[in-house]
Amino acid sequence: CIRDSVNGASGSFASLNVDSALNVSSGSIIAVSGTLDVASTGILAGNGQINGDVSNAGAVGPGNSPGTLTINGNYDQVSAGTLDIELAGVVAGTEFDTLIVTGDVTLDGALDVSLLNAFELVDDMTFQIMDIAGTRTGTFDGLNEGSIFGSFGEKSLQISYLGGDGNDIILTAVPEPSSLALLGLGGLLIARRRRTG
């Protein structure tokens, strides 16, 4: 069980269970010869590196509002797990969270996205939230390729699992579906008036 932050120091473990909070600060390297297990009550966050596999049944949040967390191994997110991503601009690693995985990724569970510091999305803004060197199987729960989700002012996000070199996860800002429906309805009313006028 790990309850405190790892600040600037490296640590080596045969296995590691996170049932509270583990913040891996910039410059820190946690080496795990087995698997780092994030329990349902656990949170793994920070800008450091994990050398080993990570299994997420709790919450993983790259960065420290925002930033980059690197897993030099495989990442397995089960149905109880959540990936927390914060967006505050379009510059990777400094303005939005990125999870880098040098191994394979298996996805399930939730993706939770929030905006920081009154950041506003603009159409076609793109955020590569996961950089995956290996293969990816699965998707976030309820988010298939091309799914639109969230409500951020008048914008939503569209997810793609085919970004970057073909298997990285990209979010793109798009108009909210309800806004598109209203625009379409407005266009139909204008066309109808022209026909009847």
pLDDT for 189 beyond 50: no
Give Rg (Cα) of the chain.
19
Please give the helix or strand (H or E) that residue 43 lies within, else none: strand 43-46
- Which of 125, 186, 187, 184 has its CA nearest to residue 152? 125
Name the DSSP class of 65. S
Contact 139, 161 (CB under 8 A): yes
In the chain, DSSP finds a helix count (H) and a strand count (E) of 1, 18
The residues facing 95 across adjacent strands are none
CB neighbourhood size of 96 (10 A): 27
> pLDDT for 30-89, tens place per residue?
999 889 999 999 999 999 999 999 999 999 999 888 999 999 999 999 999 999 999 999
Side chain identity at residue 173, one-letter code = A
pTM: 0.86
As a whole number of angstroms, the distance between CA 20 and CA 41 comes to 6
As a whole number of angstroms, the distance between CA 56 and CA 178 comes to 33
Task: Return the residue matching tokens 């996170």.
Answer: 18
ω into residue 66 within 30 of 0, thus cis? yes
Q: How many residues does the chain have?
A: 197
> pLDDT for 169-184, tens place per residue?
999 999 988 654 444 4
23 or 188: whose pLDDT is higher? 23
CB neighbourhood size of 95 (10 A): 18
